[in-house]
Amino acid sequence: MTLAHVYTVAFEGVEAREVDVQVHIGDGGAGVFTVVGLGDKAIGESRERVRAALAAIGLALPWKRITVNLAPADLPKEGSHYDLPIALALMAAMGVLPASEMAGYTAMGELSLDGQITAVAGVLPAALAASEAERGLICPAACGPEAAWAAGLEIIAAPSLIGVVNHIKGAQV
């Protein structure tokens, strides 16, 4: 059993509420990839964007049961900005990224099928929430200037998923 966490946010009006993206990889149900936690259709579709983005950087999903929980389960979640935190938590659960370090970040960004991270709305409220929680923020490169308005937090504004991996591993700034 492997479990990893990365944080993101859900929006209620202009307020950003913390969401704990939990990934569990376990035995049984080989090849099953499930996302739970009151997500909309875009979040359900993130399974395919995450799978393709990981394949684009040379990673295959383990042939095990993968469960992604977006907690709290009673908070409605919508949008494609959950792609990046799901991918990062999945890589932490797979041992590609250090799980303890990844739990120190709030992340948001939509993944394209080739592993690029595309811009999403709401980065400033997410940055403010990350700062309040004393976490860093991982966001699309195009959203970095907006995130910088929230002073006092580490911001990793990356153009691609492989860029984030290389930065976390110390191979690229």
State pLDDT tens for residues 71-104: 999 998 999 999 999 999 999 999 999 999 999 9
Mean pLDDT (the chain, rounded): 92
The CATH number of the domain where 22 resides is what? 3.30.230.10
State pLDDT tens for residues 101-128: 999 999 999 999 999 999 999 999 999 9
pLDDT for 53 beyond 70: yes
CB burial string 78-112: b at 16+ within 10 A, e below: ebbbbbbbbbbbbbbbbebbebeebebbbbbbbbe
pLDDT of residue 41: 83
Q: What is the arithmetic mean of pLDDT over 135-151?
A: 95
Which of the pair, 7 or 44, is modelled with greater confidence?
7
pLDDT of residue 1: 52
Looking at the 3D structure of the chain, how many domains does it have? 1
Neighbours of 120 (CB within 10 A): 20
Q: CA angle, 113 as apex, 110 and 115 as ends, to 5°?
A: 70
Residue 116 located in a structural domain: yes
Domain that holds residue 24: 2-168
Residue 173 located in a structural domain: no
pLDDT for 57 beyond 90: yes
Predicted structure pTM score: 0.94
Q: What is the arithmetic mean of pLDDT over 133-151?
A: 95
Residue 153 located in a structural domain: yes
